[in-house]
Amino acid sequence: MPYSDFIQVKGMKGELLVSQKQHRLGCTLTTQELIFQKPHLSYQIMLSDILGITPVPSTHDVPRIKSLANTEIRPLSVNPFYRITTNQVSIIDRTGSSTRESTCLMVPLSDRFIHFIQLHTDLISLPFT
């Protein structure tokens, strides 16, 4: 198996619903848990421990990159951030794992990923204004 900066999460519970890796962030949803991965660190959350997922309003413009010709380039897709409030989260790093209670995580999630969460959890979707 090739080396990866992402730590493999062993013992995932439930059946895989969707998994995506985008840039330096990985997100996996099973029928029982939600896993976020960034280089050298993973967060494992049981769906039953999630209290809520709320969108975080953007406080700044989409990041822009200036090229040599002084033209600005915007990324085609910048996922909105969501605040996930949970009773408990397992944090896995290269030295082992630990559990933290009453935690909020802010993560970028695609509309597709949010759609899967809405379909497969008991969370109630409220319109964002």
Question: Tens of pLDDT along 19-50?
Answer: 888 778 889 999 999 999 888 888 999 999 99
Find residue 53's DSSP bridge partners.
84
How large is the average pLDDT for residues 10-20?
Answer: 85
Determine if the pTM surpasses 0.85.
no
Do residues 73 and 64 touch, judged by C-beta distance below 8 A? yes
Task: Give residue-wise pLDDT tens across range 73-94.
Answer: 555 446 788 899 999 999 988 8
Q: What is the C-alpha to C-alpha distance for residues 117 and 18, in angstroms, rounded to an integer?
A: 10
Q: What is the C-alpha to C-alpha distance for residues 15 and 96, in angstroms, rounded to an integer?
A: 24
Beta-carbon contacts of residue 78 (< 8 Å; ≥ 6 apart): 62, 63, 108
Q: What residue segments make up the domains of the chain, in order of their start?
A: 16-120
Residue type, 51: L
